[in-house]
């Protein structure tokens, strides 16, 4: 399997990050835990987190670092490059990867990284008034993957990875449908 889908998600996210204005950093996001600044920090840190995990290093959270106060685009690019290099290493996608919540196949970890990156790009687009109709084919593929892999056991109140599935209009774009499936109000 190629890492190209992960890189496509990173490109989508970077496109959203490029459009954020400095005065939007304190705006709320669909992720109740984070404002725009906090979500930018999470997105940058997540690239390093996933890259470290698949490289066999203990993944650490960079959520405490304030990337948003500096050149967060450069930091995101650096994290994306590290993640792509780690996922692209020989055999990584076929091996088991130790995550804080248990072991997963590398390919599943890449799927998680893709969904996290894409969904949080949607969150930032929504929070900053950008179009949420992001990469329709990629959004549809991620929606299909999410529907086949996210059970009710992963849904719940604060602390659970996903909220309850939300309703979404029939004509909504695939990215909005994905967001609703992952618990966002669209």
* Average pLDDT of adjacent 10-residue blocks, the chain of 186 residues: 94 98 96 93 94 83 76 96 96 92 91 96 98 98 93 73 87 97 92
Give pLDDT, residue 175. 98
Residue 22 counted as domain residue: yes
Give pLDDT, residue 64. 66
Give pLDDT, residue 101. 79
Residue 185 counted as domain residue: no
User: For the chain, what is the domain count?
Assistant: 1
Give pLDDT, residue 158. 65
Residue 178 counted as domain residue: no
Whichever domain contains 107, its CATH number is 1.20.120.450
The DSSP code sequence of 104-158 is EEHHHHHHHHHHHHHHHHHHHHHHTT------HHHHHHHHHHHHHH--GGGB-ST
The CA distance from 125 to 12, in Å, is 10
Residue 95 counted as domain residue: yes
Residue 176 counted as domain residue: no
Q: Give me the domain span that covers residue 115.
A: 4-130
Give pLDDT, residue 156. 75
What's the longest Cα–Cα distance across the chain?
43
Report the DSSP beta bridge partners of residue 162.
Answer: 155
Give pLDDT, residue 61. 55
Residue 136 counted as domain residue: no
Residue 58 counted as domain residue: yes
Give pLDDT, residue 161. 73
Give pLDDT, residue 60. 61
Instruction: Name residue, tokens 């995990």.
Output: 53
């Amino acid at each position: 399997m190629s890492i190209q889908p992960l890189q496509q998600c990173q490109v989508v996210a970077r496109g959203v990050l490029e459009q954020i204005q400095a005065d939007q950093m304190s705006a709320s996001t669909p992720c109740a835990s984070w404002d725009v600044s906090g979500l930018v920090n999470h997105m940058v840190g997540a690239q390093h987190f996933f890259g470290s995990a698949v490289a066999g290093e203990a993944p650490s959270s960079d959520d405490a670092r304030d990337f948003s106060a500096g050149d967060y685009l450069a930091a995101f690019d650096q994290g994306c490059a590290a993640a792509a290099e780690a996922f692209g290493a020989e055999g990584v996608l076929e091996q088991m990867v130790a995550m804080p919540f248990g072991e997963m196949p590398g390919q599943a970890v890449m799927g998680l990284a893709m969904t996290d990156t894409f969904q949080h790009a949607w969150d930032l687009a929504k929070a900053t008034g950008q179009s949420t109709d992001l990469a329709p084919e990629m959004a549809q593929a991620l929606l299909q993957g999410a529907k086949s892999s996210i059970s009710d056991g992963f849904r719940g109140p604060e602390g659970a990875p996903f909220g309850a599935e939300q309703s979404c209009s029939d004509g909504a774009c695939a990215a909005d449908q994905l967001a609703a499936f992952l618990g966002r109000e669209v």
